[in-house]
Protein backbone atom coordinates (compact mmCIF):
# COMPACT_ATOMS: atom_id res chain seq x y z
CA UNK A 1 0.00 0.00 0.00
CA UNK A 2 1.32 3.42 -0.95
CA UNK A 3 2.22 5.96 1.70
CA UNK A 4 -0.94 7.53 3.08
CA UNK A 5 -3.29 5.32 1.04
CA UNK A 6 -6.28 4.13 3.10
CA UNK A 7 -8.63 2.12 0.86
CA UNK A 8 -12.05 1.06 2.19
CA UNK A 9 -13.58 -2.18 0.96
CA UNK A 10 -17.30 -2.88 1.31
CA UNK A 11 -18.42 -6.50 0.98
CA UNK A 12 -22.08 -7.47 0.73
CA UNK A 13 -24.40 -10.27 -0.18
CA UNK A 14 -26.75 -9.44 -3.03
CA UNK A 15 -29.94 -9.50 -0.95
CA UNK A 16 -31.58 -6.07 -0.98
CA UNK A 17 -32.05 -6.05 2.80
CA UNK A 18 -28.32 -6.14 3.52
CA UNK A 19 -27.00 -4.63 0.27
CA UNK A 20 -29.05 -1.41 0.16
CA UNK A 21 -27.80 0.14 3.44
CA UNK A 22 -24.17 -0.54 2.53
CA UNK A 23 -24.67 0.87 -0.96
CA UNK A 24 -26.12 4.08 0.53
CA UNK A 25 -23.28 4.40 3.04
CA UNK A 26 -20.71 3.94 0.24
CA UNK A 27 -22.48 6.69 -1.72
CA UNK A 28 -22.40 8.99 1.32
CA UNK A 29 -18.66 8.44 1.72
CA UNK A 30 -18.13 9.15 -1.97
CA UNK A 31 -20.25 12.29 -1.63
CA UNK A 32 -17.87 13.50 1.07
CA UNK A 33 -14.91 13.08 -1.24
CA UNK A 34 -13.57 9.91 0.37
CA UNK A 35 -11.06 8.37 -2.00
CA UNK A 36 -10.23 4.76 -2.78
CA UNK A 37 -13.67 3.25 -2.17
CA UNK A 38 -14.27 -0.33 -3.33
CA UNK A 39 -17.38 -2.50 -3.21
CA UNK A 40 -17.34 -6.29 -3.65
CA UNK A 41 -20.61 -8.10 -4.30
CA UNK A 42 -22.35 -10.38 -6.77
CA UNK A 43 -22.39 -9.35 -10.42
CA UNK A 44 -26.09 -8.40 -10.27
CA UNK A 45 -25.16 -5.47 -7.99
CA UNK A 46 -22.67 -3.91 -10.42
CA UNK A 47 -25.07 -1.33 -11.91
CA UNK A 48 -26.13 -0.02 -8.49
CA UNK A 49 -22.52 0.58 -7.46
CA UNK A 50 -21.27 1.95 -10.76
CA UNK A 51 -24.05 4.55 -10.92
CA UNK A 52 -22.66 6.22 -7.76
CA UNK A 53 -21.23 9.36 -9.35
CA UNK A 54 -20.44 11.48 -6.31
CA UNK A 55 -16.75 12.31 -5.79
CA UNK A 56 -14.53 9.69 -7.36
CA UNK A 57 -17.32 7.13 -7.25
CA UNK A 58 -16.96 3.57 -5.98
CA UNK A 59 -15.08 0.83 -7.81
CA UNK A 60 -16.93 -2.45 -8.15
CA UNK A 61 -15.39 -5.88 -7.55
CA UNK A 62 -17.41 -8.79 -8.92
CA UNK A 63 -17.71 -11.92 -6.79
CA UNK A 64 -19.46 -13.77 -9.61
CA UNK A 65 -23.05 -14.85 -9.99
CA UNK A 66 -25.40 -15.14 -7.02
CA UNK A 67 -25.56 -18.51 -5.30
CA UNK A 68 -29.22 -19.64 -5.50
CA UNK A 69 -28.94 -21.22 -2.04
CA UNK A 70 -28.19 -17.84 -0.50
CA UNK A 71 -30.69 -15.83 -2.55
CA UNK A 72 -34.31 -16.18 -1.34
CA UNK A 73 -35.56 -14.61 -4.57
CA UNK A 74 -34.13 -17.61 -6.44
CA UNK A 75 -35.42 -20.36 -4.16
CA UNK A 76 -37.73 -22.95 -5.67
CA UNK A 77 -41.36 -23.14 -4.56
CA UNK A 78 -40.70 -25.93 -2.06
CA UNK A 79 -37.95 -23.99 -0.29
CA UNK A 80 -40.12 -20.87 -0.28
CA UNK A 81 -42.94 -22.88 1.29
CA UNK A 82 -40.63 -24.14 4.02
CA UNK A 83 -39.09 -20.72 4.69
CA UNK A 84 -42.53 -19.17 5.12
CA UNK A 85 -44.03 -22.10 7.03
CA UNK A 86 -46.69 -21.46 9.66
CA UNK A 87 -44.39 -23.04 12.26
CA UNK A 88 -41.78 -20.48 13.32
CA UNK A 89 -39.41 -23.31 14.17
CA UNK A 90 -39.74 -25.07 10.80
CA UNK A 91 -39.18 -21.79 8.96
CA UNK A 92 -36.11 -20.94 11.07
CA UNK A 93 -34.74 -24.45 10.59
CA UNK A 94 -35.22 -24.36 6.82
CA UNK A 95 -33.61 -20.94 6.35
CA UNK A 96 -30.59 -21.61 8.57
CA UNK A 97 -29.94 -25.01 7.00
CA UNK A 98 -30.15 -23.55 3.49
CA UNK A 99 -27.99 -20.49 4.13
CA UNK A 100 -25.46 -21.79 6.65
CA UNK A 101 -22.02 -21.85 5.05
CA UNK A 102 -19.12 -20.67 7.23
CA UNK A 103 -16.74 -20.44 4.26
CA UNK A 104 -18.94 -18.34 1.97
CA UNK A 105 -18.34 -20.48 -1.14
CA UNK A 106 -15.02 -21.37 -2.73
CA UNK A 107 -15.33 -19.26 -5.92
CA UNK A 108 -16.37 -16.16 -4.04
CA UNK A 109 -13.63 -16.77 -1.48
CA UNK A 110 -11.02 -16.85 -4.25
CA UNK A 111 -12.44 -13.73 -5.94
CA UNK A 112 -12.46 -11.72 -2.72
CA UNK A 113 -9.03 -12.99 -1.72
CA UNK A 114 -7.62 -11.75 -5.04
CA UNK A 115 -9.37 -8.40 -4.65
CA UNK A 116 -7.96 -7.86 -1.18
CA UNK A 117 -4.48 -8.69 -2.40
CA UNK A 118 -4.88 -5.98 -5.05
CA UNK A 119 -6.68 -3.33 -3.00
CA UNK A 120 -5.01 -3.90 0.39
CA UNK A 121 -7.84 -2.19 2.28
CA UNK A 122 -7.15 -0.43 5.55
CA UNK A 123 -10.73 -1.17 6.67
CA UNK A 124 -13.50 -3.55 5.59
CA UNK A 125 -17.23 -2.98 6.00
CA UNK A 126 -19.52 -5.97 5.46
CA UNK A 127 -22.99 -7.20 6.29
CA UNK A 128 -23.75 -9.35 9.31
CA UNK A 129 -24.83 -12.42 7.31
CA UNK A 130 -21.63 -12.51 5.27
CA UNK A 131 -19.20 -15.22 6.46
CA UNK A 132 -16.99 -14.47 3.46
CA UNK A 133 -16.20 -10.98 4.73
CA UNK A 134 -15.39 -12.32 8.18
CA UNK A 135 -13.08 -15.03 6.81
CA UNK A 136 -11.13 -12.54 4.71
CA UNK A 137 -10.91 -9.88 7.41
CA UNK A 138 -9.46 -12.40 9.84
CA UNK A 139 -7.14 -13.98 7.29
CA UNK A 140 -5.65 -10.63 6.24
CA UNK A 141 -5.89 -9.16 9.76
CA UNK A 142 -7.94 -6.21 8.51
CA UNK A 143 -10.06 -4.20 10.98
CA UNK A 144 -13.72 -4.34 10.08
CA UNK A 145 -17.11 -2.73 10.62
CA UNK A 146 -20.19 -4.95 10.80
CA UNK A 147 -23.41 -3.74 9.19
CA UNK A 148 -26.79 -5.06 10.36
CA UNK A 149 -30.33 -4.06 9.39
CA UNK A 150 -31.58 -6.50 12.02
CA UNK A 151 -32.39 -5.97 15.67
CA UNK A 152 -29.35 -5.93 18.00
CA UNK A 153 -30.62 -9.05 19.77
CA UNK A 154 -30.22 -10.90 16.47
CA UNK A 155 -26.45 -10.54 16.91
CA UNK A 156 -26.29 -10.78 20.70
CA UNK A 157 -28.36 -13.83 21.58
CA UNK A 158 -25.75 -15.09 24.02
CA UNK A 159 -25.77 -11.75 25.86
CA UNK A 160 -29.51 -11.21 26.16
CA UNK A 161 -31.07 -11.67 29.61
CA UNK A 162 -32.69 -14.93 30.60
CA UNK A 163 -36.18 -15.16 29.15
CA UNK A 164 -35.45 -12.75 26.30
CA UNK A 165 -37.30 -13.78 23.12
CA UNK A 166 -35.23 -15.93 20.77
CA UNK A 167 -34.80 -14.45 17.29
CA UNK A 168 -37.32 -15.59 14.67
CA UNK A 169 -39.91 -16.57 17.28
CA UNK A 170 -41.95 -13.36 17.03
CA UNK A 171 -42.52 -13.61 20.77
CA UNK A 172 -43.00 -10.53 22.97
CA UNK A 173 -40.74 -9.51 25.83
CA UNK A 174 -43.56 -10.19 28.29
CA UNK A 175 -44.57 -13.78 27.69
CA UNK A 176 -47.26 -16.04 29.03
CA UNK A 177 -46.16 -19.31 30.61
CA UNK A 178 -46.79 -21.32 27.40
CA UNK A 179 -44.83 -18.73 25.43
CA UNK A 180 -41.89 -18.98 27.84
CA UNK A 181 -41.87 -22.75 27.44
CA UNK A 182 -42.03 -22.38 23.67
CA UNK A 183 -39.19 -19.86 23.71
CA UNK A 184 -36.98 -22.20 25.76
CA UNK A 185 -37.70 -25.13 23.47
CA UNK A 186 -36.97 -23.03 20.39
CA UNK A 187 -33.54 -22.08 21.77
CA UNK A 188 -32.75 -25.69 22.65
CA UNK A 189 -33.75 -26.99 19.23
CA UNK A 190 -31.79 -24.20 17.51
CA UNK A 191 -28.62 -25.41 19.25
CA UNK A 192 -29.24 -29.08 18.52
CA UNK A 193 -29.90 -28.30 14.85
CA UNK A 194 -26.16 -28.03 14.27
CA UNK A 195 -25.86 -31.76 14.92
CA UNK A 196 -27.60 -32.40 11.60
CA UNK A 197 -25.20 -34.16 9.15
CA UNK A 198 -25.24 -31.29 6.64
CA UNK A 199 -24.53 -28.72 9.32
CA UNK A 200 -21.76 -30.86 10.80
CA UNK A 201 -20.17 -31.24 7.37
CA UNK A 202 -20.18 -27.50 6.81
CA UNK A 203 -18.84 -26.90 10.31
CA UNK A 204 -15.98 -29.32 9.60
CA UNK A 205 -15.24 -27.39 6.41
CA UNK A 206 -15.04 -24.26 8.56
CA UNK A 207 -12.55 -25.97 10.90
CA UNK A 208 -10.47 -27.05 7.90
CA UNK A 209 -10.48 -23.47 6.62
CA UNK A 210 -9.27 -22.18 9.98
CA UNK A 211 -6.31 -24.54 9.82
CA UNK A 212 -5.49 -23.79 6.18
CA UNK A 213 -5.55 -20.03 6.62
CA UNK A 214 -4.21 -20.06 10.16
CA UNK A 215 -7.19 -18.03 11.29
CA UNK A 216 -7.79 -17.24 14.93
CA UNK A 217 -9.88 -19.94 16.56
CA UNK A 218 -12.38 -17.24 17.45
CA UNK A 219 -13.68 -17.58 13.88
CA UNK A 220 -15.44 -20.79 14.91
CA UNK A 221 -17.29 -19.06 17.72
CA UNK A 222 -20.93 -18.11 16.98
CA UNK A 223 -20.10 -14.64 18.31
CA UNK A 224 -16.90 -14.20 16.26
CA UNK A 225 -18.26 -11.45 14.02
CA UNK A 226 -19.35 -9.42 17.05
CA UNK A 227 -16.29 -10.14 19.19
CA UNK A 228 -13.78 -9.32 16.43
CA UNK A 229 -15.51 -6.27 14.95
CA UNK A 230 -14.13 -2.80 15.60
CA UNK A 231 -17.58 -1.31 15.22
CA UNK A 232 -21.14 -2.54 14.68
CA UNK A 233 -23.79 -0.47 12.95
CA UNK A 234 -27.44 -1.38 13.57
CA UNK A 235 -30.15 0.39 11.60
CA UNK A 236 -32.73 0.70 14.37
CA UNK A 237 -33.19 2.51 17.69
CA UNK A 238 -33.97 1.34 21.20
CA UNK A 239 -37.59 1.69 22.07
CA UNK A 240 -38.25 -0.44 19.01
CA UNK A 241 -35.80 -3.11 20.16
CA UNK A 242 -36.42 -4.36 23.68
CA UNK A 243 -33.96 -2.91 26.23
CA UNK A 244 -30.90 -4.94 27.20
CA UNK A 245 -27.19 -4.08 27.66
CA UNK A 246 -25.16 -3.86 24.44
CA UNK A 247 -21.38 -3.44 24.06
CA UNK A 248 -20.02 0.06 23.46
CA UNK A 249 -19.03 -0.94 19.92
CA UNK A 250 -22.74 -1.17 19.00
CA UNK A 251 -24.17 1.98 17.45
CA UNK A 252 -27.89 2.18 16.74
CA UNK A 253 -28.05 4.80 14.00
CA UNK A 254 -31.61 4.32 12.71
CA UNK A 255 -32.71 3.73 9.13
CA UNK A 256 -30.22 4.42 6.35
CA UNK A 257 -31.89 7.04 4.16
CA UNK A 258 -30.26 8.83 1.18
CA UNK A 259 -30.66 12.56 0.48
CA UNK A 260 -34.30 13.21 -0.36
CA UNK A 261 -36.08 13.26 -2.73
CA UNK A 262 -34.50 10.13 -4.11
CA UNK A 263 -36.26 10.18 -7.53
CA UNK A 264 -37.45 13.77 -8.04
CA UNK A 265 -38.57 13.28 -11.67
CA UNK A 266 -41.47 10.95 -10.93
CA UNK A 267 -44.14 13.53 -11.81
CA UNK A 268 -47.01 11.15 -12.68
CA UNK A 269 -47.01 9.25 -9.38
CA UNK A 270 -46.47 12.47 -7.44
CA UNK A 271 -49.52 14.06 -9.06
CA UNK A 272 -51.61 10.99 -8.20
CA UNK A 273 -50.47 11.11 -4.58
CA UNK A 274 -51.15 14.84 -4.44
CA UNK A 275 -54.69 14.22 -5.69
CA UNK A 276 -55.49 11.64 -3.02
CA UNK A 277 -55.36 13.03 0.53
CA UNK A 278 -55.28 9.59 2.25
CA UNK A 279 -53.33 6.72 0.70
CA UNK A 280 -52.64 3.21 1.95
CA UNK A 281 -49.40 1.98 0.44
CA UNK A 282 -49.02 -1.79 -0.04
CA UNK A 283 -45.49 -3.10 -0.55
CA UNK A 284 -44.86 -6.69 0.45
CA UNK A 285 -41.18 -6.88 -0.48
CA UNK A 286 -39.27 -8.50 -3.30
CA UNK A 287 -39.50 -12.06 -1.96
CA UNK A 288 -43.24 -12.41 -1.28
CA UNK A 289 -45.01 -14.71 -3.77
CA UNK A 290 -48.73 -14.07 -3.74
CA UNK A 291 -51.26 -16.50 -5.19
CA UNK A 292 -54.49 -15.64 -6.99
CA UNK A 293 -56.88 -15.68 -4.06
CA UNK A 294 -54.49 -13.48 -2.02
CA UNK A 295 -54.27 -10.95 -4.85
CA UNK A 296 -58.06 -10.91 -5.19
CA UNK A 297 -58.40 -10.47 -1.41
CA UNK A 298 -56.21 -7.35 -1.48
CA UNK A 299 -58.21 -5.99 -4.42
CA UNK A 300 -61.33 -6.46 -2.30
CA UNK A 301 -59.66 -4.62 0.59
CA UNK A 302 -59.04 -1.69 -1.75
CA UNK A 303 -62.64 -1.85 -2.97
CA UNK A 304 -63.95 -1.65 0.60
CA UNK A 305 -61.72 1.37 1.30
CA UNK A 306 -63.10 3.28 -1.72
CA UNK A 307 -64.56 6.63 -0.72
CA UNK A 308 -62.27 6.91 2.29
CA UNK A 309 -58.76 6.00 1.13
CA UNK A 310 -56.88 5.41 -2.09
CA UNK A 311 -54.56 2.41 -2.36
CA UNK A 312 -51.16 2.30 -4.04
CA UNK A 313 -49.94 -1.26 -4.52
CA UNK A 314 -46.46 -2.21 -5.66
CA UNK A 315 -47.05 -5.64 -7.19
CA UNK A 316 -44.25 -7.34 -9.18
CA UNK A 317 -44.95 -7.63 -12.91
CA UNK A 318 -44.71 -11.43 -12.80
CA UNK A 319 -47.63 -11.53 -10.35
CA UNK A 320 -49.91 -9.04 -12.07
CA UNK A 321 -51.53 -11.71 -14.24
CA UNK A 322 -53.27 -12.79 -11.02
CA UNK A 323 -55.25 -9.53 -10.91
CA UNK A 324 -58.88 -9.38 -12.03
CA UNK A 325 -59.47 -7.72 -15.44
CA UNK A 326 -58.56 -4.05 -15.40
CA UNK A 327 -62.17 -2.89 -15.81
CA UNK A 328 -63.05 -4.80 -12.61
CA UNK A 329 -60.48 -3.05 -10.43
CA UNK A 330 -61.80 -0.43 -8.00
CA UNK A 331 -61.19 3.20 -9.07
CA UNK A 332 -59.25 4.02 -5.90
CA UNK A 333 -56.59 1.36 -6.61
CA UNK A 334 -53.35 2.07 -8.45
CA UNK A 335 -51.14 -0.94 -9.18
CA UNK A 336 -47.48 -0.45 -10.13
CA UNK A 337 -44.88 -3.08 -10.93
CA UNK A 338 -42.10 -0.63 -10.13
CA UNK A 339 -41.97 2.54 -8.04
CA UNK A 340 -38.97 4.82 -8.66
CA UNK A 341 -38.50 5.36 -4.93
CA UNK A 342 -40.27 3.66 -2.07
CA UNK A 343 -38.71 6.26 0.20
CA UNK A 344 -40.21 9.17 -1.75
CA UNK A 345 -43.57 7.39 -1.56
CA UNK A 346 -43.32 6.93 2.21
CA UNK A 347 -42.23 10.54 2.62
CA UNK A 348 -45.28 11.89 0.78
CA UNK A 349 -47.79 13.48 3.18
CA UNK A 350 -50.74 11.71 1.51
CA UNK A 351 -49.42 8.28 2.53
CA UNK A 352 -50.99 7.53 5.89
CA UNK A 353 -50.21 3.82 6.36
CA UNK A 354 -47.77 1.22 5.03
CA UNK A 355 -49.01 -2.37 4.68
CA UNK A 356 -45.84 -4.44 4.43
CA UNK A 357 -44.14 -7.78 5.11
CA UNK A 358 -42.19 -6.73 8.20
CA UNK A 359 -38.73 -6.73 6.61
CA UNK A 360 -36.19 -4.81 8.68
CA UNK A 361 -35.59 -2.05 6.15
CA UNK A 362 -39.28 -1.58 5.29
CA UNK A 363 -40.19 -1.49 8.98
CA UNK A 364 -37.61 1.14 9.91
CA UNK A 365 -37.97 3.22 6.73
CA UNK A 366 -41.71 3.56 7.31
CA UNK A 367 -41.07 4.81 10.84
CA UNK A 368 -38.35 7.18 9.67
CA UNK A 369 -41.10 9.04 7.83
CA UNK A 370 -43.54 8.75 10.74
CA UNK A 371 -45.90 6.29 9.04
CA UNK A 372 -47.70 3.62 11.11
CA UNK A 373 -48.04 0.14 9.69
CA UNK A 374 -50.06 -3.02 9.30
CA UNK A 375 -47.74 -6.00 8.95
CA UNK A 376 -48.21 -9.37 7.35
CA UNK A 377 -44.93 -11.08 8.39
CA UNK A 378 -43.34 -13.08 5.62
CA UNK A 379 -40.70 -15.17 7.37
CA UNK A 380 -38.11 -15.53 10.17
CA UNK A 381 -36.99 -12.02 11.26
CA UNK A 382 -40.16 -10.35 9.94
CA UNK A 383 -42.07 -11.76 12.92
CA UNK A 384 -39.57 -10.11 15.28
CA UNK A 385 -40.05 -6.67 13.71
CA UNK A 386 -43.82 -7.20 13.75
CA UNK A 387 -44.02 -7.88 17.49
CA UNK A 388 -41.70 -4.94 18.25
CA UNK A 389 -44.06 -2.79 16.19
CA UNK A 390 -47.08 -3.92 18.19
CA UNK A 391 -45.33 -3.48 21.54
CA UNK A 392 -44.03 -0.01 20.62
CA UNK A 393 -47.49 1.10 19.47
CA UNK A 394 -46.64 1.79 15.82
CA UNK A 395 -48.32 -1.14 14.06
CA UNK A 396 -50.74 -4.03 14.13
CA UNK A 397 -50.12 -7.53 12.77
CA UNK A 398 -52.66 -9.55 10.77
CA UNK A 399 -54.14 -12.45 12.70
CA UNK A 400 -52.98 -15.16 10.28
CA UNK A 401 -49.99 -14.34 8.07
CA UNK A 402 -50.58 -17.55 6.11
CA UNK A 403 -53.70 -16.12 4.50
CA UNK A 404 -55.08 -12.71 3.62
CA UNK A 405 -58.44 -12.34 5.31
CA UNK A 406 -60.32 -9.35 3.94
CA UNK A 407 -62.18 -8.60 7.15
CA UNK A 408 -59.06 -8.88 9.29
CA UNK A 409 -56.96 -6.63 7.04
CA UNK A 410 -59.76 -4.06 6.86
CA UNK A 411 -60.11 -4.12 10.63
CA UNK A 412 -56.37 -3.62 11.21
CA UNK A 413 -56.06 -0.88 8.57
CA UNK A 414 -59.11 0.96 9.91
CA UNK A 415 -57.91 0.78 13.51
CA UNK A 416 -54.47 2.13 12.67
CA UNK A 417 -55.88 4.92 10.51
CA UNK A 418 -58.54 6.04 13.00
CA UNK A 419 -56.61 5.76 16.27
CA UNK A 420 -54.23 8.76 16.42
CA UNK A 421 -51.93 7.00 18.90
CA UNK A 422 -50.40 4.90 16.10
CA UNK A 423 -49.42 7.99 14.12
CA UNK A 424 -48.18 9.75 17.24
CA UNK A 425 -45.96 6.82 18.20
CA UNK A 426 -44.67 6.52 14.63
CA UNK A 427 -43.78 10.22 14.65
CA UNK A 428 -42.00 9.73 17.99
CA UNK A 429 -39.75 7.11 16.40
CA UNK A 430 -39.28 9.29 13.33
CA UNK A 431 -37.71 11.90 15.62
CA UNK A 432 -35.64 9.24 17.41
CA UNK A 433 -34.24 7.93 14.13
CA UNK A 434 -33.32 11.37 12.89
CA UNK A 435 -31.57 12.07 16.17
CA UNK A 436 -29.67 8.78 15.80
CA UNK A 437 -28.11 10.16 12.62
CA UNK A 438 -28.75 7.51 9.97
CA UNK A 439 -26.38 7.46 7.01
CA UNK A 440 -24.46 10.53 8.21
CA UNK A 441 -23.77 8.97 11.60
CA UNK A 442 -22.73 5.69 9.97
CA UNK A 443 -20.29 7.52 7.68
CA UNK A 444 -18.89 9.56 10.59
CA UNK A 445 -18.27 6.40 12.61
CA UNK A 446 -16.53 4.66 9.71
CA UNK A 447 -14.33 7.62 8.92
CA UNK A 448 -13.46 7.97 12.60
CA UNK A 449 -12.06 4.43 12.76
CA UNK A 450 -8.41 4.44 13.91
CA UNK A 451 -7.44 2.31 10.91
CA UNK A 452 -8.05 5.33 8.67
CA UNK A 453 -6.00 7.79 10.70
In this predicted structure, what is the pLDDT of residue 126? Answer: 98
Residue 3 pLDDT exceeds 60: no
Whether residue 301 contacts residue 406, with contact meaning beta carbons closer than 8 Å, is answered with yes
Q: What is the mean pLDDT of residues 76-82?
A: 93
In this predicted structure, what is the pLDDT of residue 214? Answer: 73
Across 5-9, 296-300, 326-330, 394-398, least confident range = 5-9
Whether residue 199 contacts residue 193, with contact meaning beta carbons closer than 8 Å, is answered with yes
pLDDT band at 4; cut points 50, 70, 90: low
CATH entry 3.40.50.2000 includes domain 8-254+437-452? yes
Specify the pTM.
Answer: 0.94
In this predicted structure, what is the pLDDT of residue 225? Answer: 92
Whether residue 142 contacts residue 112, with contact meaning beta carbons closer than 8 Å, is answered with no
In this predicted structure, what is the pLDDT of residue 395? Answer: 98
Every domain of the chain and the residues it spans: 8-254+437-452, 267-435
Q: What is the mean pLDDT of residues 286-297?
A: 96
In this predicted structure, what is the pLDDT of residue 102? Answer: 64
Distance from the first to the final alpha carbon of the chain: 15
Q: What is the mean pLDDT of residues 194-213?
A: 77
Residue 105 pLDDT exceeds 80: no
CATH node for 267-435: 3.40.50.2000
Q: What is the mean pLDDT of residues 347-353?
A: 98
Residue with the larger pLDDT of the pair 4 and 56: 56
For residue 92, give the nearest of 180, 42, 165 by alpha carbon. 165
187-197: pLDDT as tens digits: 999 988 888 78
**Matching CATH topology for 8-254+437-452 and 267-435?**
yes
Distance of CA 302 to the CA centre of its chain: 27
In this predicted structure, what is the pLDDT of residue 385? Answer: 97
**Cβ-proximal residues to 448 (8 Å cutoff; 6+ apart), any chain:** none
In this predicted structure, what is the pLDDT of residue 216? Answer: 67
368-390: pLDDT as tens digits: 999 999 999 999 999 999 999 99
Dihedral sign from CA coordinates of 257, 263, 269, 275? positive
Average pLDDT of every residue of the chain: 93
Q: What is the mean pLDDT of residues 346-353?
A: 98
Residue 101 pLDDT exceeds 90: no
- The rounded radius of gyration (Å) of the Cα atoms in the chain is 22
Across 259-263, 328-332, 428-432, least confident range = 259-263
Residue 103 pLDDT exceeds 70: no
Whether residue 126 contacts residue 209, with contact meaning beta carbons closer than 8 Å, is answered with no
> CA 237 → CA 141, 256, 265, distances in Å?
31, 12, 32
In this predicted structure, what is the pLDDT of residue 382? Answer: 97
Residue with the larger pLDDT of the pair 72 and 344: 344
272-287: pLDDT as tens digits: 999 999 999 999 998 9
DSSP 225-280: HHHH-SEEEESS-BTTBPP----TTEEE------SS-SSTT-HHHHHHHHH-SSEE
Residue 296 pLDDT exceeds 70: yes
Amino acid sequence: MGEGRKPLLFVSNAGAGVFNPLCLIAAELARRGTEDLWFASDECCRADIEKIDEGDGVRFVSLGETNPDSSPADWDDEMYRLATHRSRWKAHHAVVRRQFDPTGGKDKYLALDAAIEEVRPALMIFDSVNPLGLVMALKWKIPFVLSSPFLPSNLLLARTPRGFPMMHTGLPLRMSFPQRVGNTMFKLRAGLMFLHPRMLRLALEGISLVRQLQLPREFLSPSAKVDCADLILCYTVFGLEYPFPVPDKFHLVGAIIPPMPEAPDDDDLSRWLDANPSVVYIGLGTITRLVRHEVHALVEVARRLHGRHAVLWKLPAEQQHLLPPRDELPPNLRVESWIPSQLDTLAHPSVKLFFNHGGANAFHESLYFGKPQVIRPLWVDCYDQAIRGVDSGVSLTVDDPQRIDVEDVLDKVTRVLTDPSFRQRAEHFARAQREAGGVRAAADLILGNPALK
